[in-house]
């Protein structure tokens, strides 16, 4: 049954807290980081009842998480500490909205995004990640004052660059690492408590394969480093306010 729904601009801000987890496939000790990140998000969806439309999704995130792993130069010696994260994501989406049914909109979502984060493990050891990715999924939303919003799909990093700042560790050069992008999943579910306020929970992830090794020099000596295969998981809950 088709229903008449007024299309309206969907500009929204979100404040959320995430449980963050990063796992590196290292031997003999696996590296794990976990803890809370605090997130501020901004969204815009073009007001249109059906057909092609544009959307934007962006967020800032930061926090300090626990580090359990090993020392860089002694991978068999356990180490604990804290890692500090700061990052930002910008994503543009092209959506195709099907005709509204039973007071809900169903969008087919294609997106392209850029994610950047700084990972500080100590005073001298830090890493910067840049990820360009594609997204494909579905999103269900309602223009009514109360109701569910749902969605999910897959992400694929098409380009990954890691700056490990080898020069800060005393090496003469600083080659970039390039972990291999792998397909990962995302999903979200929320309930609109009133016209402007939605309680939302979500899951997001990245998956990276092992990078090729790079050679660094220090005086007359050489060493090789690589980024192990890694996965990242984010479980979040927050409040979204729509204007």
Domain ranges within the chain, ordered by starting residue: 11-242
Report the alpha-carbon distance of residue 188 to residue 209 in Å, rounded.
25
Quick one: pLDDT band at residue 204, thresholds 50, 70, 90? very high
Of 94, 172, 87, 175, which is closest to residue 139 (Cα–Cα)? Answer: 94
pTM for this one?
Answer: 0.92
The predicted structure's pLDDT at residue 237: 98
Q: Could you give the angle at the alpha carbon of 93 between the alpha carbons of 89 and 98, nearest 5°?
A: 145
Q: Which fold has domain 11-242?
A: Lipocalin (2.40.128)
| pLDDT tens, position by position, 41-59 | 999 999 988 999 999 999 9
């Amino acid at each position: 049954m088709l229903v008449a729904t007024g299309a309206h601009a969907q500009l929204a801000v979100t404040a959320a807290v995430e449980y963050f987890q990063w796992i590196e496939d290292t031997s003999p000790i696996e590296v794990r980081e976990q803890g809370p990140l605090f997130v501020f998000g901004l969204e815009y969806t073009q007001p249109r009842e059906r057909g092609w439309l544009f959307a934007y999704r962006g967020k800032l995130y930061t926090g300090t998480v626990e580090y359990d792993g090993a020392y860089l130069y002694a991978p068999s010696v356990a180490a604990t500490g804290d890692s500090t994260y700061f990052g930002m994501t910008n994503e543009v989406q092209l959506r195709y909205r099907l005709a509204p049914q039973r007071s809900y909109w169903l969008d087919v979502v294609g997106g392209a995004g850029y994610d950047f984060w700084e990972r500080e493990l100590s005073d001298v050891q830090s890493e910067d990640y840049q990820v360009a990715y594609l997204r494909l999924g579905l999103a269900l939303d309602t223009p009514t004052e109360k109701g569910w919003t749902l969605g999910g799909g897959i992400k694929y990093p098409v380009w990954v660059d890691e700056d490990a700042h080898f020069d800060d560790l005393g090496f003469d050069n600083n080659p970039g690492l390039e972990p291999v992008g792998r397909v990962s999943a995302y999903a979200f579910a929320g309930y609109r408590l009133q016209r402007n306020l939605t309680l939302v929970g979500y899951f997001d992830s990245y998956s990276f394969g092992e990078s090729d090794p790079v050679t660094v020099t220090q005086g007359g000596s050489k060493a090789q480093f690589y980024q192990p295969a890694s996965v990242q998981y984010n479980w979040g809950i927050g409040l979204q306010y729509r204007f």
